[in-house]
Structure 1
Amino acid sequence: MKDFFEESVERKGTASFKWDMTKEVFKTDTDVLPMWVADMDFRPPKAITDALHARVEHGIYGYTYIGDSVVEAITSWLSRRVSWNIKKEWILYSNGVVPSIGKAIQALTKPGDKIMIQSPVYPPFFSMVKENDRVIENCPLVEEKDQYGINFDAFEASLKTGVKMFILCHPHNPIGRVWTETELRKMANLCLENDVIIVSDEIHSDLVLKPYKHVPMASLSEEIAQQTITLIAPSKTFNLAGLQASISITPNKDFREKIQDVDKKLGFHTLNTFGILAMEMGYRHGEEWLEGLLDYLKGNVETVENYFKEHLPELKLVPAQATYLLWIDCRKLELSDAKLNKLFVEDGKVGFNPGTSFGKGGEGFVRMNVACPQATVLEGLKRMKQAIKG
């Protein structure tokens, strides 16, 4: 399986946002190695590709519905992978987790309502709140030794300011935390006490590195489940982002009906033919591939960690518990964020997400994507060293 992930697949010239938009994104004419946007440079499981080929060969792409076999694949996957047993009627579909967040905001809150997030966090959390005319209540995560945690006194105080919804990133992007059951229960119970709806973005839940385990927020109790909307997708798991298929799960009938009302206003009825098929094939046949991926990603994380220790002690890798996105502390370089970005892009010719794009607490950090062949990881590290030492 390792050889599969070692394959170098040429992505330039395929309208790849990651590879074909580097000049526009990084505002430079230099040949930048893109290690930023969250998709992988790996082919998906063969079962997905074969099924898509067969569908193309059939040659007719008319209106498609989501059948019971898709539902069975989703429910079976969640039962096997995270011991969460859900019902068919709990499931709604969307063309992405970000649109799902937007729909939940529109359906369950009003303009001017406060929505809480925890920076540094995935940038669309900010934009979805602002674009829907709601107010951000930011309760930043706190640095604790080598990792991040939650100040629960501040968390409770923020909720009591009139927050109506809390958007949780679980596992967390960009810091790579897998929240423990204890932490999840504390957050959920405080939300219950203050009647705050939980939107739990669990898109990276399949990408938890051993020995860590993902616990779905809604699996903790019936009461918590009734207060929670869980968002998942095969896009990060199997590298299918371009097929735009995601899932919202909640046992709360009132929540579902209100979200479905938003879907009606948007004219959204179902997913595209290829997204439906790829989702089913991934959840039905992708487990062996995923286990190989997780082993390979863990090796890439260790490569970065060891390289920093040997060659770049100025940089500190926040321990990665999940995702293929590494949160790198560059503060010992004592550079402004503008100069840090210039250092890597112009001098090193390597492109990362600047930490400032993730909000308060991201200053002096960059996010690095290591979902690529190890040779690419090593090339990126070499360019970092060249920039810093040069």
Structure 2
Amino acid sequence: MEYKYNFDEVIDRRGTNAYKTDAMKMKIGREGLIPLWVADMDFKAPPQIIEAFRKRIDHGIFGYTIPSKNYYDAIINWLSSQHGWSVSREELSYIPGIVKGIGLAIDHFTNEGDKIIIQPPVYHPFRLVPQAQNRTVVENPLLFDGENYTMDLGGLKKIVSEQQCKILILCNPHNPVGIAWSREVLQEVAEICAAHNVLVISDEIHAEILHNGYKHTPFATVSEKAAQHSITFMAPSKTFNLAGIVCSYAVIKNHDLRKSYYNYLKRAELDQGTLFSYLATEVAYTLCDDWRKEMTAYVWDNVQFVAGYLQKNIPQIKALIPQASFLVWLDCSGLQLDHKALVCLFRDQAGLALNDGATFGSQGAGFMRLNVGCPRSTLEKALRQLKEAVG
């Protein structure tokens, strides 16, 4: 494929306070590793966003800012064009980050000791945030047959019927295993949760990086029950590499839920974004879809490169092909190492910084999460080092 944008450019992020590089020693224990862990990409943001920032910077005044009509229209039109989802202005609110939005919803809608359902192996803040708020985390693990993951709907039904759970935190698409949940699965989740008045918080931050013909289905669109028993959190940050800008937002269809949560945010001005968060969202959603399509194609090529390289050179490690996102879940069970030795292999012998699979739950032991949102040359070097270490 001929690329208009240069995703092969290698950009040194060290010394920019990038979590991915400059927190490595603190979080992983070593410096100088190839950074393939934190879930942001190593590509420059779309040039349209950079140019919009430059133009705004040249203005020179960065005072208090309000969201414009264009900001809301950009989100509304994007959700309509990308997902066929009709959303109105009053159903939207800025939030100060999706993890923060989840934490705030837990704080507002539950009390200490209340039960929160997660489906591991899953993004670790889903477990850590409720625990830090003294809530009880109930696990409904995904089912894994050695090849594919599925949602344990029977297990979910049993949990909500036998325990008084208040919230299910849904990862849609799922991080780290990369599933874009089908409409049928989400409809069943909605039926189960609505029957027991369980609020579904749906994290849909990876909704626009889809591969191989898969589609994203917003949870709230699958049925009226889903719409009335859910809060959806979305953002352009993963798709357009804007995580440091913090441009997340919530969509709530239920009038009473919306009024309660948005008023809660408003009381502490948590519904107010920054000048650049509003601007980045507007430009990303109106001018950058061609960049998104090229980025997704490049990432898909990286996924296939990793899978092919491992199959040919390190068959003990198998890449589970993601349906969504720039994250690849690696099944390392063929190495026959205990998890501590596996982590040491990647970090100390191969010189690579990946996410330790066990951080996503005990079900992640024997797995590692690889970020392929980077130049191909970075992946080539990393896999050569891994091959040598395994050898």
| Alpha-carbon shift at residue 201 of structure 1 (Å) | 0.4
The superposition leaves residues 121-171 of structure 1 with CA deviations (integer Å, 9 ceiling, x where unpaired) of: 001001111122211010000103511002221110111211111110000
Contact 2:35 2:352 in 1 (8 A): yes
Is 1:198 matched up with 2:207?
Answer: no
**How is 1:64-103 mapped onto 2 (pairs within 5 angstroms)?**
64-103=65-104
Contact 1:116 1:138 in 2 (8 A): yes
| Alpha-carbon shift at residue 218 of structure 1 (Å) | 0.5
Contact 1:237 1:290 in 2 (8 A): yes
Aligned to 1:13: 15
Aligned to 2:62: 61
How far apart are the structure 1 equivalents of 2:10 and 2:121? 32
**How is 1:40-189 mapped onto 2 (pairs within 5 angstroms)?**
40-160=41-161, 161-189=163-191
**How is 1:284-363 mapped onto 2 (pairs within 5 angstroms)?**
284-363=286-365
| Alpha-carbon shift at residue 210 of structure 1 (Å) | 2.5
Q: CA RMSD in A?
A: 1.2
Aligned to 1:277: 279
Moved over 3 A (4+): 264-267
Alpha-carbon spacing, 1:124–1:273, altered in 2? closer, same or farther (3 Å): same
The superposition leaves residues 146-205 of structure 1 with CA deviations (integer Å, 9 ceiling, x where unpaired) of: 110022211101112111111100000000011111111111111111111110100000
The superposition leaves residues 349-374 of structure 1 with CA deviations (integer Å, 9 ceiling, x where unpaired) of: 01100001001310100000000011
Is 1:27 matched up with 2:61?
Answer: no
Q: Quick one: which amino acid aligns to residue 40 of structure 2?
A: D
Q: Quick one: which amino acid aligns to residue 315 of structure 1?
A: I
Q: Quick one: which amino acid aligns to residue 342 of structure 2?
A: L
State the percentage of identical aligned residues: 37
Contact 1:192 1:224 in 2 (8 A): yes
How far apart are the structure 2 equivalents of 1:222 and 1:23? 48
Aligned to 2:218: 216
Aligned to 1:248: 250
| Alpha-carbon shift at residue 254 of structure 1 (Å) | 1.7
Aligned to 1:373: 375
How far apart are the structure 1 equivalents of 2:364 and 2:103? 24
Contact 1:106 1:262 in 2 (8 A): no
How far apart are the structure 2 equivalents of 1:125 and 1:81? 26
Alpha-carbon spacing, 1:315–1:4, altered in 2? closer, same or farther (3 Å): same
TM-score (norm 2): 0.97
How far apart are the structure 2 equivalents of 1:237 and 1:181? 22
| Alpha-carbon shift at residue 3 of structure 1 (Å) | 5.1
| Alpha-carbon shift at residue 71 of structure 1 (Å) | 0.5
Aligned to 2:388: 386
Contact 1:35 1:350 in 2 (8 A): yes
Aligned to 2:235: 233
Contact 1:146 1:319 in 2 (8 A): no
How far apart are the structure 2 equivalents of 1:311 and 1:3? 30
Q: Residue 120 of structure 1 aligns to a residue in which SS?
A: coil
How far apart are the structure 1 equivalents of 2:107 and 2:297? 39
How far apart are the structure 2 equivalents of 1:93 and 1:118? 26
Q: Residue 26 of structure 2 aligns to a residue in which SS?
A: helix
Contact 1:48 1:282 in 2 (8 A): yes
How far apart are the structure 2 equivalents of 1:284 and 1:34? 31
How far apart are the structure 1 equivalents of 2:137 and 2:39? 24
How far apart are the structure 2 equivalents of 1:278 and 1:27? 34
The superposition leaves residues 221-243 of structure 1 with CA deviations (integer Å, 9 ceiling, x where unpaired) of: 22320111111001101000001
The superposition leaves residues 227-279 of structure 1 with CA deviations (integer Å, 9 ceiling, x where unpaired) of: 11111001101000001110110111221222234324534241011111011
Alpha-carbon spacing, 1:4–1:287, altered in 2? closer, same or farther (3 Å): same
TM-score (norm 1): 0.97
- The range that moved more, 359-368 or 8-17, is 8-17
Aligned residues: 388
- The range that moved more, 40-49 or 257-266, is 257-266
How far apart are the structure 2 equivalents of 1:388 and 1:262? 52
Contact 1:308 1:316 in 2 (8 A): yes
Unpaired stretches in structure 1, ≥5 consecutive residues: none
| Alpha-carbon shift at residue 42 of structure 1 (Å) | 0.5
